[in-house]
């Protein structure tokens, strides 16, 4: 791929400084870029690599000090987003697989053809498993990679269990399981745990992305629902009957217990844990390693275990850090009080 710097500038709406005839043949991180590469700089922590980078061009914020003349610059308000646009429009990978791999399993009910459960032009590659009555739409690709729904991609060793529904433009990365049994058991009179059949399904709506080794449990009854535009990182557990709203982002190693509802435009940081049967409203951000045991309905940023509003948590953390000093002050005050009490007794004794 060879793209002119002018074409890139037109795409991102930036302003060029330097050699406008520069040709870009690749994209790279600033510390790894070489000749022909476009890179970007949006965080001060990476400015230390600017003098040594070998990139041919760089996306920077307006006003950046252009101290090198051997590199071309494109000034944009958000270099990170601009770089992503370049990837999407000029450097997205292309897949050209066809047919159904011999190692894939497709249930007989997932047949090919118009109005069938499994759409036309489907490619199913190594290790993919498509269960009974899975709903898959036209122009679906299951690649080493697999697409379910229009322009959807499922990568290696993805399992979609029976009756689950996958929408359009969904991306599911290797090792993820959609529709595994929910964690449902009850102890009998002898304390032996008996399995409760999980007879619901999972619905994954359009434009959802699931990272690798994500587990989305099927509902005990009804449906576990991941709504349009939600993005879920690697190694996330979604319990049975969970509902996740539109355009929500969940980071790696987070866990959402059964029957919890998460609103739209929420953010869960890495290793956040949500207990079951609670509700998280819209526009709520939960910090990394936070533990949420009660419903949160007010939009805002929450952090800690138990999770509280960020300002409250930071105040508490500051006080905890000052506990040794507080203890010393308390001892001093106790001594002063004791001295005053002794002095008062002495005076009263006279």
User: What is the average per-residue pLDDT within 102-127?
Assistant: 55
Q: Could you report the per-residue pLDDT of 125-137, keeping only the tens digit for each?
A: 555 556 555 444 3
The CATH number given to whatever domain includes residue 17 is 3.40.1390.10
Domain holding 344, by residue range, is: 320-349
Instruction: Give the range among 47-61, 82-96, 123-137 with minimum mean pLDDT.
Output: 123-137
Q: Could you report the per-residue pLDDT of 327-345, keeping only the tens digit for each?
A: 889 998 998 898 888 888 8
Query: Which band of pLDDT confidence, cut at 50, 70 and 90, is reported for residue 205?
Result: very high
Q: Could you report the per-residue pLDDT of 280-304, keeping only the tens digit for each?
A: 999 999 999 999 999 999 999 999 8
Please tell me the total count of domains within the chain: 2
- Alpha-carbon span 274 to 22, nearest angstrom: 50
User: What is the average per-residue pLDDT within 268-285?
Assistant: 96
Give burial (CB, 10 Å; 0-12/13-18/19+) of 232: buried
- 265 is an active site residue: no
Among 83, 86, 57, 81, smallest CA distance to 69 is for 57
Residue 248 has pLDDT above 90, yes or no: yes
- Alpha-carbon span 261 to 176, nearest angstrom: 21
- The per-residue pLDDT for 108 is 63
Q: Which of 75, 90, 105 is at the close of a domain?
A: 90
Query: How many CB atoms within 10 Å of residue 161?
Result: 22
Cα–chain-centroid distance for residue 1? 29
Query: How many CB atoms within 10 Å of residue 244?
Result: 26
Asked, for residue 201, whether it belongs to a domain, the answer is no
Asked, for residue 193, whether it belongs to a domain, the answer is no
User: What is the average per-residue pLDDT within 169-183?
Assistant: 88
**How does DSSP assign 33-74, residue by residue?**
--TTEEEE--SGGGGGGTTT---SEEEE-TT-----SSSEEE
Please, are residues 263 and 278 in contact by the beta-carbon 8 Å criterion?
no
Q: Could you report the per-residue pLDDT of 2-28, keeping only the tens digit for each?
A: 899 999 999 999 999 988 889 999 999
- The per-residue pLDDT for 249 is 98
Quote the percentage of the chain above a pLDDT of 70: 82
Q: Which of 46, 68, 90 is at the close of a domain?
A: 90
Please, are residues 166 and 204 in contact by the beta-carbon 8 Å criterion?
yes
- The per-residue pLDDT for 265 is 98
Asked, for residue 22, whether it belongs to a domain, the answer is yes
User: What is the average per-residue pLDDT within 60-70?
Assistant: 93
Per-chain mean pLDDT for the chain: 84
Q: Of these residues, 138, 173, 240, 265, which one is catalytic? A: 240
Quote the percentage of the chain above a pLDDT of 90: 50
User: What is the average per-residue pLDDT within 80-93?
Assistant: 86
Asked, for residue 240, whether it belongs to a domain, the answer is no
Q: Which of 71, 90, 109 is at the close of a domain?
A: 90
- The per-residue pLDDT for 348 is 81
């Amino acid at each position: 791929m060879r793209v002119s710097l002018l074409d890139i500038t037109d795409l991102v709406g930036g302003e060029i400084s330097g050699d406008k005839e520069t040709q870009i043949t690749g994209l790279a991180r600033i510390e790894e870029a070489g000749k022909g590469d476009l890179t970007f700089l949006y965080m001060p922590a990476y400015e230390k690599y600017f003098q040594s980078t070998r990139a041919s061009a760089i996306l920077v914020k307006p006003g950046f000090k252009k101290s090198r003349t051997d590199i071309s610059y494109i000034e944009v308000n958000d270099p990170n987003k601009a770089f992503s646009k370049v990837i999407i429009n000029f450097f997205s990978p292309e897949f050209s697989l066809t047919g159904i791999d011999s190692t894939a399993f497709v249930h007989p009910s997932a047949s090919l053809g118009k109005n069938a459960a499994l759409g036309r032009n489907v490619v199913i590659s190594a290790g993919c498993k498509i269960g009974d009555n899975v709903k898959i739409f036209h122009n679906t690709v299951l690649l080493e990679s697999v697409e379910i729904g229009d322009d959807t991609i499922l990568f290696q060793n993805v399992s979609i269990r029976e009756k689950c529904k996958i929408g359009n433009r969904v991306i599911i990365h290797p090792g993820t399981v959609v529709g595994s049994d929910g964690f449902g058991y009850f102890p009998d009179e002898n304390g032996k745990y008996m399995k409760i059949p999980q007879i619901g399904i999972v619905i994954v709506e359009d434009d959802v992305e699931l990272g690798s080794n994500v587990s989305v449990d099927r509902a005990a009854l009804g449906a576990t629902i991941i709504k349009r535009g939600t993005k879920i990182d690697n190694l996330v557990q979604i319990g049975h009957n969970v509902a996740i709203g539109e355009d929500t982002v969940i980071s790696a190693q987070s866990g959402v217990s059964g029957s919890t509802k998460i609103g739209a435009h929420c953010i869960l940081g890495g290793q956040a844990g949500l207990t079951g049967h609670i509700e998280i409203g819209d526009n709520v951000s939960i910090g990394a390693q936070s533990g949420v045991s009660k419903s949160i309905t007010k939009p805002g940023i929450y952090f800690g275990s138990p999770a509280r509003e960020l300002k409250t948590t930071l105040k508490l953390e500051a006080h905890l850090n000052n506990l040794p000093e507080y203890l010393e002050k308390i001892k001093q005050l106790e001594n002063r009080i004791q001295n005053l009490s002794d002095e008062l007794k002495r005076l009263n004794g006279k």
